[in-house]
Structure formats: structure tokens, C-alpha cells
Amino acid sequence: MAKTIITAALTGAITPRGYQVPETPEQIAQEAYECWKAGASIVHLHMRDDQGMGVMDPVKFYETIRLIRAHEDCDVIINCTSSGGPGLDGTRSTQSRLEHFQKIPDIEVGSFDAGTFNWGIPGGIFSNSPTFLTTLGGLYQERGIKPEFEVFDLGMIRAVGVYWKKGVVKAPLHFQLCLGVVGGMDTTPREVQEMLTEIEHLQATGNLPREVTWSAFGIGKGHLPVMFSALANGGHIRVGMEDNVMYSKGVLADCNAQFVERAVRVSREFGREIATPDEAREILGLKK
Ligand code: ZN
């Protein structure tokens, strides 16, 4: 069976303070290193300001990546968000979402949120206009950064196919199925299956390429059913405090690596070994 790529999403933009969420570049880099040692081949990075709010700060991204790479043995794949600060309802400039990708070498993967929707109730609009996504896709091609298509609903999968057909993004394509946001899909095995059925349908009709890989995560208590569904369906998995802070019912997680350790255990118990970063590069078709 194919090896499992584990992504650790360490911080996120909106997980509240008061849990063990790493916030500073030093804390995030340390957790990234520990997750890599535990078996994560990709770390997905967001930054926080001094008040603990999500911020798109290229200096903080740069410093975090520098500190991760200060561990000479650490070859973890760096995946940065393109959405993580205030103004994601479209009031913030496109430039603030692109700058770290333009300036920092060594970012191999970047998020590409394939549509606009209401994020929670209450909550804002998560705005990803076609203009923004076209610019983002062009920048990723120019910089050799692989887009990770974060899809929260079925229609977003189809939208990715349209960007592919227009040449905004190139195959092979990698999806991150993001389940459990109010405004998107629920977190049962059925929803995972529906998304996979949609991918297969679009491939069969020539609206997605054959070369597709995918990973999935569920938010909050949905993290376990989605993780097990993804493993059973041959997909890759994402864990971490961006998505969930409870290790189990009523038990707060101590750190991100705890989630990675469990993901490694259950994947091996299932009969799937864990991909190293270089194996993940091979699977995803990353340029070294
Ligand atoms: Zn994220």
C-alpha cells in the first residue's frame, strides 16, 4: 500500500489562545522540528502577531523557516498559507497574501483555497476571488511552488478543474479536503467519499487530470473520523492544532507532535508506512 504523507498544521489563524498553540517563530519552528522527528513530512505554517491574531508577516515567515532550517538534519517540506491575516473578506490587499512567496526561497507548497464562502456563524466571509486565485496560481508557477488545493465543498473541486484547464495551475494536482467548517462539508466518512466520487467523476469527464493526490482533515471532533476515512481510502492525512486542540474527548493536547505520533501509529497499524520528506516530494512531484 502507498505510504502516508503526514502534514502537521501547527498554528492556524483562528485557533484561540489558551491552548498549547505555538505562536512565535521560535515556538512554531520548535514544534515543526518535533513534528518532523515524530514523522510529519510537511509542516503547514501560519503566523501570529503579538496579540496572538493571525497575520501575514513575511518577516515572521522568514524567521520561522530559518529556525527550522537551523536544524541541519531537518528536511521537512515547508508549506505556507496564502490566507491567514485580517481582511480575508476581501478588504485586504492581494499583495499581503503573496509577499512571503515572492521573497522567501525554500517554500515548496502553498495553500490555494479554491473558493469563497461563509466561515462559521458568526464569522466572516472567506474571500478568494477568481482574480486573486489566478494571480496566486501564476506566482506559484513562476516560483516553482506546488499549490495545495484546499477544498471545503464539492463545487470547489470542480473549480480547481477549471483553473487547471485554463492553465492557471498544472498537473499533478494535490487536494487537501477540509471538512467541518460551518459553510462547508461535514466530517463523516460519507463526506470524504462524496468528495472522492466528485474527483473521480471530474477525471472521467476530462475535467481533472489523472495525476491527482489528496489528503484530508476534519475540524474539531471530526478529526478522527476523517483521518481514518482518509487512511482507508488511500489518502494522506493532516493533523495539528490549526484544526483541533483536543486529543480526545475532554483531553487537551499537549503539543502538535502528539497528533503526529498518533497518526504514525494508526497508519502503521493499518499497514501503511510513513513517507519521509523526500518520499513525499516524489509522491507529490515537487521540484527538489
Ligand atoms: Zn492553514
Q: What is the DSSP string of 126-177?
A: E---HHHHHHHHHHHHHHTPEEEEEESSHHHHHHHHHHHHTTSS-SSEEEEE
C-alpha 101 – ligand 1 centre gap (Å): 15
In this structure, how many other beta carbons lie within 10 angstroms of the beta carbon of residue 210? 8
CA of 80 to the centre of ligand 1 (A): 8
Nearest-angstrom CA–CA distance, 196 and 254: 33
Q: How many residues does the chain have?
A: 288
Distance, in Å, from the CA atom of 245 to the CA atom of 251, rounded to the nearest integer, reads 9
pLDDT of residue 157: 98
**Beta bridge partner(s), residue 147:** 110
Whole-number Å distance, alpha carbon 12 to ligand 1 midpoint, is 5
Using 50 as the pLDDT threshold, list the residues of the chain that sit under it.
none
Q: What is the pLDDT of residue 14?
A: 85
Pairing relation of β-strands 251-252 and 47-48?
unpaired
Strand boundaries in 15-130, DSSP class E: 42-45, 47-48, 54-55, 77-80, 109-113, 117-118, 125-126
- Name the one residue in this structure whose C-alpha cell is 492581494: 94
150 alpha carbon to ligand 1 midpoint, in Å? Answer: 9
- Rounded to the nearest angstrom, the distance between the alpha carbon of 242 and the centre of ligand 1 is 7
Q: CA 166 to CA 122: how far, in whole Å? A: 35
CA of 187 relative to ligand 1 center, distance in Å? 17
Range 223-253 burial, b when 16+ CB lie within 10 A, else e = bebbbbbbbeeebbbbbbbbbbbeeeeeeeb
- Collapsing DSSP states into helix, strand and coil, what is residue 114? coil
> β-strand 125-126 against 117-118: which pairing, if any?
antiparallel
Residue 288's pLDDT is 60
The grid coordinates of residue 253 equal 493536547
**Which residues crowd ion ligand 1, with CB under 5 Å?**
81
Calculate how far, in angstroms, residue 256's C-alpha sits from the geometric centre of ligand 1. Answer: 14
CA of 83 to the centre of ligand 1 (A): 7
The three cell numbers locating residue 141: 508557477
Q: How many CA atoms lie less than 13 Å away from 52 in the CB half-sphere?
A: 9
Cα 100 to averaged position of ligand 1 atoms, centre (Å): 15
Check whether the bond before 122 is cis (ω within 30° of 0).
yes
- How far is it, in rounded angstroms, from Cα 215 to Cα 176? 5
pTM, 2 dp: 0.97
DSSP SS3 for 177: strand
Using the mean position of ligand 1's atoms as its centre, give its distance from the Cα of residue 233 in Å.
23
Beta strands in 129-203 (DSSP E): 146-151, 173-179
What is the rounded distance in angstroms from the CA atom of residue 245 to the CA atom of residue 253? 6
Q: What are phi and psi of 284, to 5 degrees?
A: -90, -10
- Cβ atoms within 10 A of the Cβ of 80, count? 25
